[in-house]
Amino acid sequence: MKLRLYGKTNCSLCDQAKVTLDILQNHYAFEIEEIDIYTDEELLEQYHLLIPVVTYEQEVIDSGIIDLQTVEDYLKQSVNPNNMTK
pLDDT above 90 for 84 = no
Are the CB atoms for 32 and 18 separated by under 8 Å? Answer: yes
Q: Is the pLDDT of residue 81 over 90?
A: no
d(CA 73, CA 78): 9
**pLDDT reported for residue 80:** 53
Q: What are the distances in angstroms from CA 43 to CA 61, 63, 79?
A: 16, 14, 27
pLDDT at 85: 45
Q: Return the bridge partners of 34, or none.
A: 5
Q: What is the CATH number of the domain that holds 40?
A: 3.40.30.10
Structural domain harbouring 18:
2-83
Total domains, the chain = 1
Does the pLDDT at position 59 exceed 70?
Answer: yes
If residue 41 lies in a helix (H) or strand (E), which one and from where to where?
Answer: helix 41-47
- The model's pLDDT over 1-57, given as tens digits with 9 standing for 90+, comes to 999 999 999 999 999 999 999 999 999 999 999 999 999 999 999 999 999 999 999
